[in-house]
Chains A and B, each alone.
Chain A
Amino acid sequence: MVTTTEDDVTSRAGTTKGSNSRRPVRTTARIVVLALLALIFISPLIFMIVTSFKTRAGATEIPPGWIPNPFTTQAYESIFSANGTPVLRWFANSMIAAVANSAIVVLTASLAAYPLARMSFRGKNIVFGAIIATLLIPPVILIIPNYLVVGSIGWLNTLLAIIVPTAASAFGVFFMRQFFLSLPIELEEAAVLDGTNRFQIFTKIVLPLAKPAMATLALLAFLTNWNDFLWPVYVLFSPEVQSLPAGLSTLQTANAVRYDLLMAGAVIASIPVLLIFVFLQRFIIEGVSRSGVKG
């Protein structure tokens, strides 16, 4: 590897005796460094969970305690019952929006990516070029005009405002197209010879093979929508239509020093994404790394 030194060159023929004796030490040092880093990475999240089970006073005590004493669920009880901060409602809103958005992304992106990967037609390069170009334009130029577009459809202050506009996912099309290109074309060719039409080929042959890619895209779209912050902050105004991240920011404004409540809210907002991550992290990490390697 990168850390191997010149000694290896001389002893290469005989299974690198010199480096073998050093390697356990190196690996241990490496693991120690990585473990310290991991501790820095994970401790803020642990402290968030710990604080959510503290009392109001406990959340601001010095020195900060890593075990809630007394242990209480009153922060959760109070954000579930409080007026003006309907956290459960926000949770439901975010869940509905993220599921719906991710379904639309997977459906429209898969459909659009297939002809871009497998058919030749006039205008294909223009369409694909236009879609890819939007990957490079910063989203900021769309914020102001999209507010007007969404407003004129009558979607401001409704969940549709955070479901539909962001579903036009250029990344999704690109991602699915790359996946379709990686499939062997022979199955589809054989089906064409049998007289199967392209829609049947797509639904019966291509989509079943594309399940892992679609699952990955669905997860990434879900995470993106669940975590989206700027857009919901500005297009949703009433407390009962807020998404959880936008609601969390209003909770912070209203309860600046109630850290027990804020941490409980943050934990609620983290639960679905952390669960998804713990159980499906392979898909997410592979999806992210594939977006780079094949990009």
Chain B
Amino acid sequence: MTASTQVTASREEVAAIPRGKAATGPGRRRGSRLEHNPWTPWVFLAPYLVLFGVFVVLPALLGLWISLHSWDYTLPLKPFVGLENYISLFTPDSINYTDFWASMRATAIFTIFSVPLLLAIPLAVALMMNQKFPGRNFFRAVYFAPYVLGVAVIGVLWRYLLDSNIGLVNYYLGLIGLPDDTAWTTSTPAAWVALIGVTVWWTLGFNAVIYLAALQDIPGELYEAARVDGANAWQQFWNVTIPGLRPILMFVTLITLIASANMFGQSYLMTQGGPSRETRTAIYQITETGLRNFQMGDAAAMSYVLTLFLMVLSVVVFWLFRERKA
């Protein structure tokens, strides 16, 4: 066998490994061998399905129903209005139009800048850690540590560190000769840099840990085969590492995308949506509309529009990461 066919075969092998693992769990095929009463599985499932029905399925349908009504929580009458709530979101002179699309824009800005950073930087960190060296587990723990703190802690903490007058960030920026008076939480684009930077700091470790586990599943022989074939580090990265990570890259892209599009706490705590609502994200706008002003019909319609956007994006991600025949 020539070296080149060997490497080609190996690449397919890489692509096949995680797929095979996901598709055939050890027990699935054999599960039917054990006998049971027809109602036994439902007894096991009952407690979960009660919760699932009441707090997931019912709300998902109820939300659609609410969105078809002029549903003010504080008023006794909630008249049916058909698609009016949706139509008003797409009518430029309606009350909700400007605020809603401004918040969608804020979510889009945040997502467009944070997702690529949260895909690339954790991968770089994971690649650096994908080798045995002293203190490796310590580093992994340190990078993961911010993630175990909730958004409330990191929001309050960074609001302090980013204070334009007494904050640590501006102080140290000044020490190295950079501007020391940036209004990180009250002016754009600085607020975006702050929100995205803090989010990267907060969740980098989560993605890195997932990448690292996946990197360790790529068989070493594949790298060896690539080296035999004369592949340099860069070629090994593109021809062995990336194909081997493909399913995980899709998984990480999806969860990062959904998390970024649902950003709320950072903005709520660090910028209060400001300056002048510029960093008020879609979720922030939906909860303020529905749960502060109690215009639940409008808010429900907004949440379905946001969801539709997210579903389209998810399909695009699936399509981008689809298996391509070599």
**Residues of A participating in the B interface, judged by any CB pair closer than 8 Å:** 1-6, 8-9, 12, 27, 30-31, 33-35, 37-38, 40-42, 44-45, 47-48, 51, 60-64, 104, 107-109, 111-112, 114-122, 124, 127, 130-131, 134, 136-149, 164-168, 170, 173, 178, 180-185, 188-189, 192, 198-199, 202, 223, 226-230, 233-234, 244-246, 248-249, 251-252, 259, 262-263, 265-266, 269-270, 273-274, 276-277, 281, 284-285, 288-295
> Is the beta-carbon distance between B148 and A276 smaller than 8 angstroms?
yes
> Is the beta-carbon distance between A4 and B157 smaller than 8 angstroms?
no
> Is the beta-carbon distance between A167 and B241 smaller than 8 angstroms?
no
- Residues of chain B within 8 A of A228, CB atoms compared: 150
A1 to B56: give the CA distance in the assembly, Å: 46
Given A108-B47, A149-B58, A183-B27: A252 and B18 interface contact (C-beta under 8 Å): no
> Is the beta-carbon distance between A145 and B31 smaller than 8 angstroms?
no
CB distance from B222 to the nearest CB of A (A): 11
> Is the beta-carbon distance between B41 and A269 smaller than 8 angstroms?
no
> Is the beta-carbon distance between B62 and A119 smaller than 8 angstroms?
no
- Residues of chain A within 8 A of B58, CB atoms compared: 145, 149
A90 to B254: give the CA distance in the assembly, Å: 34
- Residues of chain A within 8 A of B52, CB atoms compared: 130-131, 134, 168, 170
Given A121-B41, A144-B300: A5 and B232 interface contact (C-beta under 8 Å): yes
> Is the beta-carbon distance between A180 and B27 smaller than 8 angstroms?
yes
CB distance from B227 to the nearest CB of A (A): 5
- Residues of chain B within 8 A of A168, CB atoms compared: 48, 51-52, 54-56
CB distance from A199 to the nearest CB of B (A): 8
> Is the beta-carbon distance between B55 and A30 smaller than 8 angstroms?
no
Measured CB to CB, the nearest residue on chain A to B207 is: A292
> Is the beta-carbon distance between A285 and B140 smaller than 8 angstroms?
yes
> Is the beta-carbon distance between A60 and B166 smaller than 8 angstroms?
yes
Given A42-B145, A141-B303: A248 and B210 interface contact (C-beta under 8 Å): no
- Residues of chain A within 8 A of B269, CB atoms compared: 249, 252
- Partner pick for A41 among B28, B201, B261, B310, CB 8 A cutoff: B201
> Is the beta-carbon distance between B262 and A115 smaller than 8 angstroms?
no
Measured CB to CB, the nearest residue on chain A to B218 is: A2
A182 to B24: give the CA distance in the assembly, Å: 10
- Residues of chain B within 8 A of A1, CB atoms compared: 130-131, 223
**Counting chain A CB atoms within 10 Å of each CB, which of B153, B163, B212 scores highest?**
B153
- Partner pick for B217 among A34, A182, A234, A293, CB 8 A cutoff: A293
4 pairs of A and B residues whose beta carbons are closest in the complex: A227-B150, A245-B152, A289-B213, A115-B41
**Main secondary structure on chain B at its contact with chain A?**
helix
> Is the beta-carbon distance between A144 and B290 smaller than 8 angstroms?
yes
> Is the beta-carbon distance between A285 and B209 smaller than 8 angstroms?
yes
Question: How many B residues touch A, CB cutoff 8 Å?
Answer: 118
Measured CB to CB, the nearest residue on chain B to A245 is: B152
- Partner pick for B233 among A4, A138, A227, A233, CB 8 A cutoff: A4
CB distance from A218 to the nearest CB of B (A): 15
CB distance from A201 to the nearest CB of B (A): 8
- Residues of chain A within 8 A of B227, CB atoms compared: 4, 6, 8-9, 12
A183 to B30: give the CA distance in the assembly, Å: 12
CB distance from B48 to the nearest CB of A (A): 4
Question: Assuming A202-B44, A266-B152, what are 8 further A-B pairs, CB within 8 angstroms?
Answer: A121-B42, A145-B58, A148-B296, A168-B48, A227-B148, A249-B155, A269-B153, A273-B148
> Is the beta-carbon distance between A44 and B55 smaller than 8 angstroms?
no
Measured CB to CB, the nearest residue on chain A to B231 is: A6
A131 to B157: give the CA distance in the assembly, Å: 36
A61 to B55: give the CA distance in the assembly, Å: 48
> Is the beta-carbon distance between B201 and A119 smaller than 8 angstroms?
no
Given A134-B56, A227-B152, A228-B150: A292 and B213 interface contact (C-beta under 8 Å): yes
Given A119-B40, A168-B56: A144 and B144 interface contact (C-beta under 8 Å): no
Any A CB within 8 A of the CB of B178: no
- Residues of chain B within 8 A of A136, CB atoms compared: 254, 314
- Residues of chain B within 8 A of A139, CB atoms compared: 262
> Is the beta-carbon distance between B34 and A41 smaller than 8 angstroms?
no
Q: Scan B63-80; emit 1 where CB is below 8 A from any A CB, else 0.
A: 100100000010000000
